[in-house]
Amino acid sequence: MARPKKRKMPRPSRGGGRMNNPSDLMAQIQRMQEELERTQAQLAEEIVEVSVGGGAVHVRMNGQLVLEELRIDPELLDPEEIDLLQDMIVSAVNQAIAKAQALASERMSAITGGLSLPGIL
């Protein structure tokens, strides 16, 4: 009578080679940290721009969320229109912040592979 064939059970994975060595892992983390620091420094040099109200309010902000410039069309400096001006400034600044955060997120996720690292930005 024929014996049933024994099935070979797959061997448990041991983690895939290079990351078994703690010093290799630490070196990789160090390289990632250095790249993150370089990218954050580069973000300080990158500028996003937003205009609202047909160009009446223009905002320039760097990738680290620092407001670099705010321009207001002098025609908007009518005391009767102060509420409109304030609303446009708030809108422009908030849009610039959103653009700068998206830029920073894009740059950082290229380094971290989409891994969320709280406190990096």
Q: Is the pLDDT of residue 117 over 80?
A: no
Inter-residue contact 46 to 106 (CB < 8 Å): no
Please state, in angstroms and as integers, the Cα–Cα distance from residue 83 to each residue in 35, 65, 77, 89, 95, following that order: 44, 25, 11, 10, 18
Are the C-beta atoms of residues 24 and 18 closer than 8 Å to each other?
Answer: yes
CATH number assigned to the domain comprising residue 73: 3.30.1310.10
In a domain, 119, yes or no: no
Q: Which residue has the tokens 């971290």?
A: 112
Query: Domain limits at 81?
Result: 49-114
Mean pLDDT of the chain: 82
pLDDT tens profile 78-106: 888 889 999 999 999 999 999 999 998 88
Tell me, yes or no, whether 104 lies in a domain: yes
State the Cα–Cα distance between residues 45 and 107, nearest whole angstrom: 13
Residues in a beta bridge with 51 = 58
**Within-domain flag for 11:** no
User: Does the pTM of the predicted model rise above 0.75?
Assistant: no
Domains held by the chain: number: 1
Is the residue at 121 inside a domain?
no
